[in-house]
Structure 1
């Protein structure tokens, strides 16, 4: 039975949990076999393709109020399409590991922009490089319109350097605090002067805005440009240590084991930042499957929602409601709260989100309706979300119970649905007044605090 628990653990951390199609393989395969399968299925990169409007010919200064309103509405609708397409890939896409790594990296390289084309471009950049080389990923993201715009590098000029981009590249994307000085930030900012993009979203370096003078950065002196700065950052072992720590916290345990992180960092550095190398070290190690690492992570809202839909095939009349749920639960794709990315662990749980997290399986199965009320500090965006709610939510979700029953009827569903059962009372199966005991048990188990853990 141990290999089943380990297989579930692997699928929760390297993917988005156990789905109906995984039942047979978690019983018949070893963790190493499942890991190899995850790698193989994620080798191919398939970009998210959507037909988006091209507004690059329109200059913002020339647009009147009516045009701006139209652009905003169009971008909002297209961003919703991107979110739903990406979310659906997490549920049913073959490249589950690549999707999970894309999800991870968007939390590291956090950006927010209203321009849908830039959002899609960055998402595909991250997705393409998610399992490749960290240096390639870092450069591609750093030269994306989303990042340059979000961190104000458009305003970074030789006579008036803007330090935002240079500071965050070091603090949040690579080395972490304590491994550079304020002088290093100022010198790096000079090197990134002139980094910009065209209205169509193509990276360009504007020579007349660039500082061609010598810079001294992390002990080195030269006529450095942005690529040189990123190269010097990658030479620092602190960068490998920082990324290894972030990966350990995301995939293994929020409580750091310094020895294990240091070993991961060294392997990562020696591999010249090959992402598959560090992932292989994590997911094939004995310590990854230690009891202290299993069933101890609080699922993020996206992991929770995707996990439910992987196990319960659901058709949705108004798919945009899924975006509302993301917002209400505190994790809306494409919209991290700030440049530091998403919170984690207990930060996902508060008095407002906990009840909705526990009730979501009941709402989606039609047992109860969504009792929606905005928080006291409800901002304008949430107000808009409230208006988007259809009047009748009861018929919005339809679960394919025939498929669920076919795959789970003869299984120990507690073992399949839960990673932690230490405090699970048996009375949980009688919680809901549903004629079908099987359905009742599935929804009841998904409504427990234990289901919130992976």
Structure 2
């Protein structure tokens, strides 16, 4: 079986072949969520795509994600000597790590089990867009829920709340942004990565924007506050306008620019549709996005309702990120995991650990997910989780996730526990009885050599599914 990732090429001057409802529905569930759940396979072939789309946009009550490990009690400074301070710091780091891991796994669990798939998929997108990495679990929890709450709401509200979150202000050093000594990091990333993109502002705009953001900070409880004593109240010129601007004025000026709507729309298109953008479609979508007042739900509904979204050239053309791969397998195969913390090891091995983006640009995409090490782990996950083989791994040498850990292999060995995953195979076999598994599990079954798959199978449904999920073709969505 070839290890080459295949995409379906369709010449632009030809009309794509009409896709079946099964193909359309698989495509929609993978792009607007994390793939079909076990209970959805029975109706997947016969369900009208419009009905499925309506289900995805159905309103669900919002539930916050929270860690449950208690915080450490405060110890008065006068009761701590140098040794106890060091011990307390070590204990605090251990507690922080446990709490952050809880948030990580709770977010992944929501992707797998939540009925509100579109919200979680959109939140996953924004989690990478507003990439942030801090050690404080309270700040991580607040930012994660801010993103999830606003995932399908107004981009204006989302931008303001993220920009005023203690996690982002801390990560981008705005605590150090004070009059007479401005720190440009926050202002630069807000414009370059979060809103307009390069080419739509100048270095002077960055300097003046940084002056406007002076004083944006937070208190000990993590509540946003504007420290007027360190705010630069001088006149500033930003994006061609002059005035005594503050941070809110800067964000509003950015949102007034159509370049912001275009930048966000293009990034959403590349994530949900195709990494090769269609400029005409993006222009139309971004114009409507701007006119709607940055209504995210309207934008993604326009995408998923369009005929071009279901063109063959847009199906099976994206390599699943590690999180999408893990969540998708877990949704198809009902399972109980005795040691869920084990899933964090897989995230580290595959290069995508929730809450720990490699840098402020977020995670890569496409072929960047694949190298000789990660590909083999990807192809072996179905067999490992089914108990057919042990996890054998070689850590990536250039991975930034470890944050200073001297020996990644040693650290992972300490963390790793046997998955102890129990898959409900009788239920899976019941679901896929009388079905061609490849039609349901592979986005483009015509690209798959089924003779090779069957040669490795004992012809049972279980073996067939494991082998299909172990193919390069399953890595595509």
Same fold (TM over 0.5): yes
Deviating more after overlay: 413-422 vs 162-171: 413-422
Equivalences for residues 143-222 of structure 1 within 5 A: 143-222=164-243
Q: Secondary structure at the match of 2:147?
A: helix
Please state whether the residue corresponding to 1:148 is helix, strand or coil: helix
| Pair 1:403 & 2:401 matched | no
How many Å separate the matches in 2 of 1:374 and 1:429?
Answer: 29
Residue 428 of structure 1 deviates from its aligned partner by 3.4
Deviation at 1:318, TM superposition (A): 1.2
- For the 8 Å contact 1:57–1:199, the answer to whether it is kept is no
Counterparts of 1:195 and 1:253 in 2: how far apart (Å)? 37
**TM-superposed deviation, 1:359:** 0.8
CA distance in 2, matches of 1:18, 1:153: 42
Q: Secondary structure at the match of 2:422?
A: strand
Change (3 A) 1:213 1:56: farther
Structure 1 residues 315-336: Cα deviation after superposition (integer angstroms, max 9, x where no partner): 1121111000011011000000
Q: Deviations over 1:124-183 (max 9, x none)?
A: 000010010000000000000110000000000001000000000000000000000000
Q: Provide the C-alpha distance between the structure 1 equivalents of 2:256 and 2:220, rounded to a whole number of angstroms.
A: 33
Q: Give the TM-score of the pair, scaled to structure 1.
A: 0.95
* In structure 2, C-alpha distance between the alignment counterparts of 1:54 and 1:169, rounded to whole Å: 32
Aligned to 1:141: 162
What's the CA shift for 1:36? 1.1
Q: Deviations over 1:372-392 (max 9, x none)?
A: 2323447554342222123xx
How far is 1:27 from its partner? 2.6
Unaligned runs of 5+ in 1: none
CA RMSD for the aligned pairs? 1.9
Q: Is the alpha carbon distance of 1:25 and 1:423 closer, same or farther for their aligned partners in structure 2, counting shifts above 3 Å?
A: closer
Match of 2:460 among 432, 437, 442: 437
Whole-angstrom distance in 2 between the partners of 1:268 and 1:203: 28
2:42 maps to 1:19: no
- The list of structure 1 runs, each at least 4 consecutive aligned residues, that deviate by more than 6 angstroms after superposition, is 58-63
Pairing 1:422–2:446 present: yes
Contact map agreement 1:156 1:163 (CA 8 A) in 2: yes
* Structure 1 residue 31 displacement after superposition: 1.4
Question: Is residue 302 of structure 2 the alignment partner of residue 302 of structure 1?
Answer: no
Pair 1:333 & 2:354 matched: yes
| CA distance in structure 2 between the partners assigned to 1:375 and 1:186 by the alignment | 38
Q: Is the 8 A contact 1:187 1:217 kept in 2?
A: yes
1:88 is aligned to 109
Cα deviation, residue 198, structure 1: 1.2
Say which of 59, 63, 69 aligns to 1:46. Answer: 63
**In 2, Cα distance between equivalents of 1:307 and 1:107:** 18
Contact 2:269/2:275 (8 A) holds in 1: yes
Residue 57 of structure 1: CA displacement?
5.6
Matches within 5 A, 1:251-266: 251-266=272-287
* Match for residue 3 of structure 1 among 12, 21, 42: 21
User: Is contact 1:430-1:440 (8 Å) kept?
Assistant: no
SS in 1 for 2:237: strand
Is 1:295–1:419's contact at 8 Å kept on the other side of the alignment? yes
Match of 1:389 among 416, 438, 441: 416
- Greater length-normalized contact order (CA 8 Å, ≥ 6 residues apart): 2
Which deviates more from structure 2 when the two are superposed, residues 424-433 or residues 320-329?
424-433
Alignment of 1:113-124 (within 5 A): 113-124=134-145
Please show how residues 314-333 of structure 1 align to structure 2 within 5 Å: 314-333=335-354
Could you tell me which residue of structure 2 aligns to residue 451 of structure 1? 474
Q: Residue 52 of structure 1 contacts residue 117 of structure 1 at CA under 8 Å; is this kept in 2?
A: no
Deviates more, 1:443-452 or 1:420-429: 420-429
Q: 1:238 to 1:317 in 2, by over 3 A?
A: same
| Mapped contact 1:324–1:385 kept (Cα < 8 A) | yes
Which segment is superposed worse, 196-205 or 233-242?
196-205
Please, which moves more after superposition, 368-377 or 187-196? Answer: 368-377
Q: Distance in 2 between matches of 1:433 and 1:164?
A: 55
Residue 25 of structure 1 and its aligned partner are, at CA, apart by: 3.5
Distance in 2, matches of 1:81 and 1:249, equals: 30
- Equivalent in 117, 131, 147 of residue 110 of structure 1: 131
Residues 428 and 441 in structure 1, CA contact (< 8 A), matched pair in contact too: no
Contact 2:42-2:431 within 8 A present in 1 as well: no
2:245 to 208, 213, 224: 224
Aligned residues: 449
**Rounded Cα–Cα distance in structure 1 between residues aligned with 2:74 and 2:254:** 37
What residue is the counterpart of 2:299 in the other structure? Answer: 278
By how many angstroms is 1:55 displaced?
5.8
Q: C-alpha displacement at 1:56, in angstroms?
A: 9.2
Distance change (3 Å), C-alpha of 1:70 and 1:269: same
Aligned partners of 1:94, 1:60: CA distance in 2, in Å?
A: 47
Which of the residues 363, 368, 373 maps onto 2:389? 368
Query: Secondary structure, in 3 states, of the residue corresponding to 2:376?
Result: helix
Gaps of 5+ in 2: 1-18
Q: Are residues 155 and 375 of structure 1, via their aligned partners in 2, closer, same or farther at CA, if it must alter by over 3 Å?
A: same
